[in-house]
């Protein structure tokens, strides 16, 4: 039996705008429809950022997240994940404000950024205290943390501050983010180094920013990982051609996965593969 590869879709993010692509979903019904299309195309997980329905800008309004989750859950069974980092640099949110939607809404999973860094020209603060507090609280809530790592030092952070202290029992889920200014450059050699730094038994996905999305996530598949695509990271289907839907990016990645001899994981498969916190 061939390996099953999980596709996560990140349909909106906090950085792209309608100037970047007129197809960016913003309002609740748009985000839900895009998520359903992506699910039908093969996505098993959706990663969500909140958007102000009037301005289109990033939002910290818990009610936006609440509406997104309700609308998505009503139209498809996709695994839900929300950000705890999206408002840190764009909105200047405190750690408590970043975690509050997770505490109130309890999605299946939430991102947990595994270290501080220069994110573009801004400081993205994720100190060990923040990492520890977020991990403990997510464990209490049965929300799976997905450790977002932007360089090798962040993998070490998880190993030292989370694994060795016993705050959360492994296995863990990681996102290896390639191509953010201030993080590790998007090269095959660097992704291999990231993968080889992870502990045996942990699951992971590759994320590539901009034009690096498809090459990096394809390399991730070949290295045994899962993938994330979507407008949060890249709005182009190919050079000079905007994707008209997140589903087009999911479909493209599904074709690549199958051409490489693997299978696209269903939601049911993903719930078996990802270490969701239905465990102690």
Q: Which residues pair with 207 in a beta bridge?
A: 177
Residues 202-217, mean pLDDT to the nearest whole number: 97
Residues 263-279, mean pLDDT to the nearest whole number: 86
pLDDT at position 278: 52
Contacts from 208-215 at CB under 8 Å and sequence distance 24+? 208/178, 208/179, 208/233, 208/234, 209/177, 209/178, 209/179, 209/180, 209/233, 209/234, 210/179, 210/234, 211/236, 211/239, 212/178, 212/179, 212/186, 213/249, 214/252, 214/253, 214/256, 215/186, 215/188
Residues 6 or more apart in contact with residue 128 via CB below 8 angstroms: 157, 161
- In total, how many domains does the chain have? 1
> Mean pLDDT across the chain, nearest whole number?
96
Q: What is the pLDDT of residues 210-248, one digit of tens each?
A: 999 999 999 999 999 999 999 999 999 999 999 999 999
Answer yes or no: is 119 within a domain: yes
Answer yes or no: is 279 within a domain: no
| pLDDT reading at 134 higher than 90 | yes
What percentage of the chain's residues is helix, strand, coil (to nearest 5)?
40, 20, 40
pLDDT at position 86: 85
pLDDT at position 1: 67
Answer yes or no: is 68 within a domain: yes
- Look up the domain containing 70 and give its range: 4-273
Least confident of 10-19, 83-92, 144-153, 212-221: 83-92
Answer yes or no: is 280 within a domain: no
Answer yes or no: is 20 within a domain: yes
| pLDDT reading at 49 higher than 60 | yes
pLDDT at position 16: 96
pTM: predicted TM-score of the whole model, two decimal places:
0.97
pLDDT at position 50: 97
pLDDT at position 280: 35
Q: What is the pLDDT of residues 59-111, one digit of tens each?
A: 999 999 999 999 999 999 999 999 999 888 888 899 999 999 999 999 999 99
User: Quick one: pLDDT band at residue 279, thresholds 50, 70, 90?
Assistant: very low
Answer yes or no: is 227 within a domain: yes
pLDDT at position 157: 98
Answer yes or no: is 278 within a domain: no
Answer yes or no: is 244 within a domain: yes
Q: What is the pLDDT of residues 51-60, one digit of tens each?
A: 999 999 999 9
Domain CATH code at residue 57: 3.20.20.70
pLDDT at position 33: 98
């Amino acid at each position: 039996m061939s390996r099953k590869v999980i596709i996560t879709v990140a349909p909106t993010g906090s950085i792209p705008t309608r100037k970047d692509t007129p197809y960016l979903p913003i309002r609740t019904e748009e985000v839900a429809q895009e998520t359903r299309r992506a699910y039908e195309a093969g996505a098993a997980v959706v990663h969500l950022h909140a958007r102000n329905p009037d301005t289109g800008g990033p939002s910290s309004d818990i009610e936006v997240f609440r509406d997104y989750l309700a609308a998505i859950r009503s139209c498809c069974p996709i695994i839900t994940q929300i950000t705890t980092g999206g408002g840190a640099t764009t909105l200047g949110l405190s750690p408590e404000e970043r975690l509050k939607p997770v505490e109130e809404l309890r999605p299946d999973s939430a991102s947990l950024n595994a270290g501080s860094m220069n994110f573009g020209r801004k400081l993205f603060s994720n100190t060990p205290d923040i990492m520890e507090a977020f991990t403990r609280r997510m464990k209490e809530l049965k929300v799976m943390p997905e450790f977002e790592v932007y360089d090798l030092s962040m993998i070490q952070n998880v190993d030292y501050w989370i694994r060795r202290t016993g705050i959360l029992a492994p296995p863990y889920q990681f996102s290896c983010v390639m191509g953010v200014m201030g993080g590790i450059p998007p090269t095959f050699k660097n992704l291999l180094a990231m993968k080889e730094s992870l502990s045996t038994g942990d699951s992971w996905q590759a994320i590539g920013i901009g034009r690096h999305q498809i090459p990096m996530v394809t390399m991730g598949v070949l290295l045994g990982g899962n993938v994330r695509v979507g407008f949060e990271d890249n709005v182009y289907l190919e050079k000079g051609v905007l994707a008209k839907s997140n589903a087009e990016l999911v479909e493209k990645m599904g074709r690549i996965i199958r051409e490489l001899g693997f299978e696209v994981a269903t939601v049911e498969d993903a719930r078996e593969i990802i270490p969701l916190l239905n465990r102690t």
